[in-house]
Structure 1
């Protein structure tokens, strides 16, 4: 299985890619520093800045680095934790997905627990771009990682660039 990575920035006229190899970043703060340095070197005045990470058929992650503190979301924290990017994405464990409340099974009249979501992190990191946290979480849980990223890209406008980079 392979990894796909991209650094995307929007300037109001659309999304653009930034040429940067993110593979050696040890943690999310180092990644944010590398992305900010690459954008400063390119001379672009960025709007939103996203790092897109995907492990084929397993998980995807988004790291937003245009604010003071980097924010991250990962579609499957247990799977991502055992990957090359596990340490980098461990910051999402600080904001795990909310645990579902127990549901009563009407037929058996006993309490059953709904499967806990596997996503973690800041589901609202794209809310200002038109993708609410609940929608991002639902997309992460309901689709394969590549399909989920396409859905996210369609919603916030980077799907054509994403497909071109793949």
Structure 2
């Protein structure tokens, strides 16, 4: 189960709204949604959380590029909403790199049902290829200083685990408005 909310900073304080992400397919869509939540190009923070498995923050300040933080990239990669946040840039991949396509598509010519020599079966029955962990690392990824100027240091953000969004909202002074949309 997911929870997603927008927090828009205004001159009167934070305004919160829950949001549906059904029509959001890309980071650009999410950024546009955030920009629509404010009138004066104020700061907007998008919170996305999946049942204590991971959370993500996207900060949009006017027309600047969004700043992204994901608490557990490997967990987020298994989620359709997490995949929106895990851009090639955030993962350090070059989308123009021809080797990226070979990583995504099995072109080695092995027969159906016959694993290639580089594929291993994990304890949970899932197949993995050496180097998968390099593609999407376990643990935090992105701009850990995304909220530093708002009172939440990198160290404190990276230490958050369960109920992270409530703790973040508390530090921002937006706990009451976030609670109204939860």
Question: Is the TM value for this pair above 0.5?
Answer: yes
- What are the superposed Cα offsets for residues 51-100 of structure 1, whole Å, 9 maximum, x if unpaired? 110111211111011241011111111111101213211124349xxxxx
- Residue equivalent to 1:163: 179
Is the 2:148–2:154 contact (alpha carbons within 8 Å) kept by the matching residues of 1?
yes
1:118 is aligned to 2:113? no
CA distance in 2, matches of 1:135, 1:94: 24
Where in structure 1 do 4 or more consecutive aligned residues deviate above 6 Å? Answer: none
Contact 2:18 2:181 in 1 (8 A): no
Q: Distance in 2 between matches of 1:56 and 1:134?
A: 22
Distance 1:165 1:24, change over 3 A: same
Structure 2 unmatched ranges of 5 or more: 94-136
1:27 is aligned to 26
Identify the residue that residue 148 of structure 1 maps to in structure 2: 164
Bigger radius of gyration among the two: 2
How far residue 45 of structure 1 moved from its aligned partner, in angstroms, is 2.5
Mapped to 2, the partners of 1:30 and 1:90 lie a distance apart of 14
Matches within 5 A, 1:54-133: 54-67=49-62, 68-91=64-87, 92-94=90-92, 118-133=139-154
**What secondary structure, in the 3-state scheme, does the structure 2 residue paired with 1:124 have?**
coil
- Structure 1 unpaired stretches of 5+: 96-115
Task: Name the CA distance, whole Å, in 1 between partners of 2:60 and 2:34.
Answer: 8
Q: 1:51 aligns with which of 46, 52, 61?
A: 46
- Between the aligned partners of 2:46 and 2:82, the Cα distance in structure 1 is 15
**Do the aligned partners of residues 19 and 80 (structure 1) sit closer, same or farther apart at CA in structure 2, a change above 3 Å counting?**
closer
Say yes or no: does 1:39 pair with 2:37.
Answer: yes
In structure 2, the CA distance between the partners of 1:62 and 1:118, relative to structure 1 (3 Å rule), is same
Q: How many residues align?
A: 136
Please give the TM-score of this superposition, normalised by the length of structure 1: 0.72
